[in-house]
Chain A
Amino acid sequence: MKIFNKYNLDKENKITDEKHFHNRRKIMTSTLAFPFLMNSNILAASQKKLSFNKDLDYSTNEQTNTIKQITSYNNFYELGTGKRDPMLNASKLKSDEWKLTIDGLVENPFTLDSDDLIKKFQLEERIYRLRCVEAWSMVVPWIGFELRSLINLAKPLHNAKYVYFESILDKENLPGQKRNILNWPYKEGLRMDEAINPLTMIAVGLYGKVLPNQNGSPVRLIVPWKYGFKSIKSIVRISFVDHQPACTWNEQAPDEYGFYSNVNPYVNHPRWSQKRERRIGEFGKRDTLLFNGYSKFVNNLYTGMDLEKNF
């Protein structure tokens, strides 16, 4: 029966032997593996291929989710609140002619345009787990660079303690911003030591090509040990500040979405459990890992902190 094929857990969970694993990687990186991209209009606007290295230090070996899963199941309220809305409304995000402003408490404020974003930095592919606060997860091959290389260019002043991120505000075109669902524009923030952690990444691509609009084109943040909503999409401004910046979901429901929002199975969302998660494509649920499995890279950021209070 088809249902059993679709959810065949045994098959998916079996460990692939190394030879096949590398082989699979090779196949995946060639465009041949995605013939459906050719007749799909989802990615029509983002056919531009990127050149990049492959990261081996931080990437997971887990089976990546398909491009279809990654591009048609999104939370991007600017493009609508349904999971398919961002894909259906993708064309309403005007992501060409982009300008990203880096300012605030820095020696060297600057702006990056669309071209700079994919050329100024050495790009690499990183395969990260993404854990949504709604208790589902994916494995995604992002293309981008470490946020700290951008921070190094800006040269923050000694009193810059936090980094503030802001998304595009375009009430005329973005369907989600026509209603006050959230307090637009979308805002996020990181502590400076979180921002310069080597895991923290600025992504400009996905599966070898520039980011599709529904995934936060042309430039987004990736913080893999935090819930997905921290990884702000379609960024127009990165500001260095001396105080903890306001964050959109924290403003919306302060007792539900903390500033840190680290993935933590021991601290539940008030309205649902965070102990387990459904990996998209799998039928059953798996246990959620502390810091989304990135403990060894980020543990030291939170030593001595009460993670239940600083959720």
Chain B
Amino acid sequence: MNRLVTYTLSLLPIFFIFYQSIFNDEIINPYSYLIISSGYIAISMIIIILSVPILFSIKNYIDRRSLGIITFLITLLHFFLYLFDNDLSLSFILSDIVSRNYIQAGYMALILFIPLFITSSDKSKEKLGIKWLSLHRLIYLILALSLLHYYLIIKADYFLFNTYMFIILFMLLIKKRIYKT
């Protein structure tokens, strides 16, 4: 039940942006809209995943692992949109990796996300035991790299980035208080 609720809720933003980019003629540059908004959604969802344990009212309805799986798929979508945006040109993609910091940060976040996705089943969790927990703490690093990826492409307006940082800081403070008491 939790899983069903989680899957449905977490897929809504993706359906929303695809619907918008296809049917809303106010979206003038739909492809760029899709790339940018899928990135925002992925970062926001990682923040939500990390916030669920301290959001008591929704805690019981959300399955974090399902949320993580969807977030990985959205990250992958974001990546494929980027590849198609550059006509799947291998030479371009390679030169982009070599020469651009924000692209490197993005790749690192995506690569680190893969083992988390692979070990998301109950079976793996049982098998890995205590190791599973430390492996999945990588999500903090993935969040940091994602934020770096975003930070490095900002041209002038840091408002949204600062908002993300503010929310994360706020959540960390609450978490600290909860676990103290």
Task: Specify the chain B residue showing the minimal Cβ separation from A282.
Answer: B31
Which residues in window 43-66 of B have CB below 8 A to A? none
Contacting pair B100 A271 (CB below 8 A): yes
Please state if A284 and B159 are interface contacts (CB–CB under 8 Å): no
Complex formed: what's the CA distance from A271 to B25 in Å?
29
**CA A252 – CA B92 in complex, angstroms?**
27
Whether A284 contacts B87 by the Cβ 8 Å rule is yes
- A252 CB contact (under 8 Å) in B28, B30, B102, B156: B156
A22 at the B interface (CB under 8 A):
no
* B29 at the binding interface (Cβ < 8 Å): yes
* B156:A285 contact, CB within 8 angstroms: no
Interface bracket on A: 20 to 34
B152 contacts A by Cβ under 8 Å = yes
Contact A273 B156 (CB under 8 A): no
> Are the CB atoms of A69 and B28 closer together than 8 Å?
yes
B171 to chain A, nearest CB (A): 25
Interchain CB contact (< 8 A) of A271 among B23, B152, B156: B152
Is B122 on the interface with A (CB-CB < 8 A)?
A: no
**Chain A's nearest CB lies how many Å from the CB of B148?**
13
Chain B residues closer than 8 Å to A72, beta-carbon distance: 26, 28
A138 CB, nearest partner CB in chain B, Å: 9
The chain B residue with its CB closest to the CB of A69 is: B28
Kindly state the separation between the CA atoms of A140 and B26 in the bound complex, as whole angstroms: 18
Q: B157 to A280, Cβ gap below 8 A?
A: no
Question: Which stretch, A77-85, A121-129, A150-158, A190-198, touches the partner chain B?
Answer: A77-85
Asked if B102 and A181 make an inter-chain contact with CB atoms under 8 angstroms apart, the answer reads no
Contact A181 B157 (CB under 8 A): yes
With the chains together, A83 CA to B159 CA distance in Å? 15
Task: Tell me if B22 counts as interface (CB < 8 A to partner A).
Answer: yes
CB B108 to nearest CB in A, in angstroms, measures 17
The answer to the question of A294 belonging to the interface, with a C-beta cut-off of 8 Å to chain B, is no
A-side interface mostly: loop
Report if A136 contacts B (CB, 8 A): yes
Q: Is A6 an interface position by the 8 A CB rule? A: yes
Report chain B residues within 8 Å CB of A181.
156-157
In the complex, the chain A residue whose C-beta lies closest to that of B25 is A68
Give chain A nearest CB distance to B160 CB in angstroms. 9
The digit string for B1-34, where 1 denotes a CB below 8 A from any CB of A, is 0000000000000000000001101101111100
Q: What residue of chain B has the Cβ atom nearest to residue A253's Cβ?
A: B155
When the two chains form their complex, are residues B31 and A278 in contact, meaning their CB atoms are under 8 A apart?
yes
Q: Are B96 and A273 closer than 8 Å at their CB atoms?
A: yes
**Known: A2-B23, A273-B96. Is A136-B29 also a contact (CB below 8 A)?**
yes
Kindly state whether residue A182 has any CB partner on chain B within 8 Å.
yes
- The answer to whether B156 touches A77 (Cβ under 8 A) is yes
Chain A residues, Cβ within 8 Å of B95: 273
A267-296 to B contact mask, C-beta < 8 Å, 1/0: 000111101001010011100000000000
Contacts of B25 in A (CB 8 A): 68
Given contacts A2-B22, A3-B22, are A81 and B29 in contact (CB under 8 A)? Answer: no
Which residues does chain A contribute within 8 Å of B157, judged by CB atoms? 77, 81, 181
CB-contact partner of B22 in A6, A73, A275, A285, under 8 A: A6
- Tell me, in angstroms, the Cα distance from A271 to B154 when the chains sit together: 10
Of the candidates B29, B87, B100, B152, the one whose C-beta lies within 8 Å of that of A83 is B29
Interface string of B145-164 (1 = CB under 8 A from A): 00000001101110100000
Q: Does A243 contact B (CB under 8 A)?
A: no
B92 near A273: Cβ-Cβ < 8 Å:
yes
Residues of B within 8 A of A136 (CB): 29, 32
As a 0/1 sequence over residues 74 to 100 of chain B, the CB contacts with chain A under 8 angstroms (1 = contact) are: 000000000001010000100110001
- B159 near A179 (CB under 8 angstroms)? yes
State A180–B85 Cα separation when bound (angstroms). Answer: 32
Whether the Cβ atoms of B22 and A84 lie closer than 8 Å is no
CA distance A280 to B30 in the complex (A): 9
Question: 16 more A-B contacts (CB under 8 A) besides A179-B159, A280-B28, A283-B31?
Answer: A6-B22, A68-B28, A72-B26, A73-B28, A73-B29, A77-B156, A83-B28, A83-B29, A136-B29, A136-B32, A181-B156, A252-B156, A271-B102, A271-B153, A275-B92, A278-B32
Query: Could you list some 21 contacts between A and B, CB below 8 A?
Result: A2-B22, A3-B22, A6-B22, A68-B25, A69-B28, A73-B29, A77-B157, A81-B157, A83-B28, A83-B29, A84-B26, A270-B100, A271-B100, A271-B102, A271-B152, A273-B95, A273-B96, A278-B29, A278-B31, A280-B29, A284-B87
Binding site for A on B (CB under 8 A): 22-23, 25-26, 28-32, 85, 87, 92, 95-96, 100, 102, 152-153, 155-157, 159
